[in-house]
Structure 1
Amino acid sequence: MANGVWHTGYGIEINLSLPDFGHPDRSDLLQEITASVSERDPQLLECLAHHDKRECPSESGGKSPWMFIRRGRVGGQRPLVASHLPITHKATKERIVETAGRYGLDAEAEVHMANRRSVSDAVVTGPDGLRIGWEIQYHHLGPSSVHRRSVNAREHGITPLWVAKDRTASLIDRAPWARVDDIPWKDIADGKEMVIRGGYRHLEVWEVRTEQRAPLPHQ
């Protein structure tokens, strides 16, 4: 069976075993499909079995029908391989939107920035209009990408809040963040408590000035 995915944007099948993916007229496909999931629509690439309404063992085992492309390792070769996105990301995103709505806040998933350069996993709007953009990052993302996406969010009036489950995640201490436990997606979807193990909203530096005073005379 060919190693491939369905491109939901173009409505085409991409064969990763072919040098041109079966579409010689689309020279930008490689860059598009290998972009980080955090930099594109997470539902851009779909499992072929799911698209054809066939049973997929990975999806039945708790994986998402949405895919990402990575470099495999076969002998001395590094072929492109399609892998399923973990469904924990989707469950966390839905949990945030559901919880915000329960407390009377406006919330929306998969919010595109005005310049279409990135997508916030969920945006929650408070009574005063403050917009918090939740960025669920359970996979590796480099520090430069964290900084660039955080700046982009602020430029569009959204305060970013990153969520990680790895204490060594590169986003920690580089942007507003919260770290949660690594729990099964089913527990997240069922409303099990998600304990915040660490994080911060902002840092505030206080400058303390000391005054020089003359010594008191002896009595």
Structure 2
Amino acid sequence: MRHLLYVPIIHGEADMGSAGRELSQKSAELLGQSRWLLHQKMVCMFWNSLTAFLLSLDPSLLRVYQDGLATDGRVGRRIVEEAAARGSQNYQLILQLLDRGAEIRKTENPSLLLREHSSLRSSLLGESEGQEQLTADLYLEKIYGLTKDRDSYIARSIGDTLKEGELGVLFIGAHHDVASLLPTDILVRMVKDTEKVRAYFVELTQGQDGKRLEELAAYLASPVEQLPN
């Protein structure tokens, strides 16, 4: 039996490349100042929680698969280093794992990533007919087919490269569904409840229940339970 830690992630501005700042500005306008500040604080605590958990594991066993990473080896490490230097907590964590002996694995198909990036840029620039504001739901609806294709490719990549005795770690956006596509001999452990991560985004972008939003944010920022021996 092979083993994989499934980490549904929350992207920060530094994870979004050249579109990050503009996307953050639009999100802040859409959500309002108080919700946006809560979200920013929660994202930081979320990654602090994941960092504490993953750094407690044996790094020599870890094989890292990353949302958006289409290469490995020296080029993959350079991409990780550059993103970490931009301030991405996701990539800062991966860099710490690599420095301790973990390995990065090619995860994505570059052509699918380019198509998705083009779609996102078009939306941000107002090039999509009838679209004035970018929201998570509208964006996900537009790229639904691409997301399914990416998920299938990622699942195949993990299935082809994760070996017995290794511990895979997949960092993947919460709107993805890679887990259901993985080979049946891979035992998946959800590091955070994907449904709660999705519920958080729905409440953040569409909800009116401030208490519910705070409860979900508290869950996402809470410490990760240690793996059983």
Query: Please, what TM-score do these two structures have when normalized by structure 2?
Result: 0.31
Q: Rg bigger for which structure? A: 1
Higher strand share: 1
- Higher RCO by CA contacts (8 Å cutoff, separation 6 or greater): 2
Query: Please, what TM-score do these two structures have when normalized by structure 1?
Result: 0.32
Higher helix share: 2
